[in-house]
Each structure stands twice: as C-alpha cells, then as structure tokens.
Amino acid sequence: MVHDWGEREQVTMPKFKVERVYWLMKSEPEAFSIDDLAKAKNKTSPWDGVRNYKARNYIKDMKIGDYAFFYHSSCKLPAIVGIVEIVSSPYPDPSAWRENSPYFDPKSTPANPRWFMVDVTFKKKFKEPILLQDLRQNPKISDFTLLKKGNRLSILPVTQQQWQSILAMIHEQN
DNA sequence: GCCAACGTTGGC
DNA sequence: GCCAACGTTGGC
C-alpha cells in the first residue's frame, strides 16, 4: 500500500530520540570568548575554572551531546553569542592543582578532586548576539534563571522551551 | 567604579 | 551551628 513515512517516523522516532539537555555557560570574553573557542584546536576546549558548588553540580549532570548557549558576561554588551556542544563526560579540573593557576584550590587533590569540567566544541556563532537587554524583553522566558535578580551562577540549565524561545529571537532580528 | 546579591570563611 | 566579615560576580 501507500507508504506513509511521516507517520512511520512519528511512531519510530521516540525509540531513537536523543535526550539532549540544554545549558548556558558564562565566560568573560576578555578571558575566553566564543572566537577563542572557534580558533582552538579542533574547535574544542576544556571549560575549566568553575569554582561554585551549584555550578559544579550542573557540570556533573552534563552528558555528551548536550548543547549549551555560550554567554559573554562582564562586558559592554552581555549576550548569548552562540552554541557549543558538550563533547566529554565530566572529569576533574586539573587547573585546581596548579599553584600558579588563578583557579588553584589546595583543597582539591587528584586523589580527591573537588572541581570538574567538560570539553566543549564550537557549533555556531550567531550573526548577531542575543543581547541580555533583549532577553529581558521576551515574556516567554521571564522565568529564566539568567534574568533573575542576583543570579551569579556561571552554569545554568535551560529548558527546551526556553532554548526554543531564545533561538526564535534570532529570526526576529534583522 | 558602584553596589546588590550571594557564597565562603572562620571565630566563637 | 551561628553569623559577621570578607570576597566575588556581574549588570549598570
């Protein structure tokens, strides 16, 4: 009979559905920008230096294949500037063990690591950054942690709805 | 450079 | 385990 590939796809899709989780990762562009990541070897870099327990726990929740918004903070125009993919499982952050590192923490040891990181790879840089001031104007993401007063976390979970609402803002740009 | 909002530290 | 002092984050 007539093949209905659309319907078949709907039936079989859930079986192969990838459960991807979304995040937002902050970086000060003067320290490490999305262009730095794009220029890195294999466009991939460890995301080191996270020194906050809640953010650390989010890192530990990350899985290979998750996506994250790359956010530029502490700069003239704070904004989401692109997308990265998580390409490693969480593993101990060795910068905590280097005494000359700004991220040195004597309480973290190789035997008992306190801080973790993942490797991220460059996926895309938006033609126009999605500015924080514009995110604040979008009622669909009014609950987004990034926009909450007093938020200081450098790693944030992003719901699928928030992810899509934010991506939709790109198409509204000109 | 200011300052609100947290997180961390350490004395008690 | 409380909490004051201090440090940090990050928008403005």
Report the protein residue whose CA lies nearest the C1' of nucleotide C9: A152
Other CB atoms within a 10 A radius of the CB of residue A76 amount to 7
Other CB atoms within a 10 A radius of the CB of residue A112 amount to 8
A1 by Cβ neighbours in 10 Å (0-12 / 13-18 / 19+) ranks as: exposed
Question: Is residue A12 scored above 80 in pLDDT?
Answer: no
**Which nucleotide comes closest to A153 if you measure CA to C1'?**
C9
Q: How confident is the model at residue A127 (pLDDT cuts 50, 70, 90)?
A: very high
Q: Are strands A79-86 and A119-131 parallel, antiparallel or unpaired?
A: antiparallel
**In strand C, which positions have an atom below 7 A from any protein CB?**
8-12
Q: How far is the CA of A156 from the C1' of C9 (A)?
A: 15
CATH placement of domain A18-173: 3.10.590.10
Question: Is residue A15 scored above 80 in pLDDT?
Answer: no
Report the protein residue whose CA lies nearest the C1' of nucleotide B3: A150
The reply to whether the CB atom of residue A151 sits less than 7 A from any atom in nucleic acid chain B is: yes
Q: What is the pTM of this model?
A: 0.87
Instruction: Enter the tokens of residue A163.
Output: 């992810």
Q: How far is the CA of A75 from the C1' of B12 (A)?
A: 42
Handedness of CA A168, A39, A119, A101 (dihedral sign): negative
The reply to whether the CB atom of residue A160 sits less than 7 A from any atom in nucleic acid chain B is: no
- Do A26 and A163 touch, CB atoms closer than 8 A? no
Q: How far is the CA of A136 from the C1' of C9 (A)?
A: 19
A127 by Cβ neighbours in 10 Å (0-12 / 13-18 / 19+) ranks as: exposed
- Do A88 and A62 touch, CB atoms closer than 8 A? no
Between A14 and A77, the higher pLDDT residue: A77
Domain residue limits, chain A: 18-173
**In strand B, which positions have an atom below 7 A from any protein CB?**
4-8
Mean pLDDT, chain A, integer: 88
The reply to whether the CB atom of residue A57 sits less than 7 A from any atom in nucleic acid chain B is: no
Question: Is residue A3 scored above 50 in pLDDT?
Answer: no
Q: How many Å is the Cα radius of gyration of chain A?
A: 18
Q: Which residue has the tokens 């004597």?
A: A106
Q: How far is the CA of A126 from the C1' of C11 (A)?
A: 22
Q: Which residue has the tokens 């590939």?
A: A5
pLDDT tens for A33-92 read 999 999 999 999 999 999 999 999 999 999 999 999 999 999 999 999 999 999 999 999
Can you list the alpha helix ranges (DSSP code H) found in A48-143?
53-61, 132-135
pLDDT of residue A108: 84
Question: Is residue A14 scored above 50 in pLDDT?
Answer: yes
CA distance linking residue A140 with residue A169, whole number of Å: 11
- Do A166 and A24 touch, CB atoms closer than 8 A? no
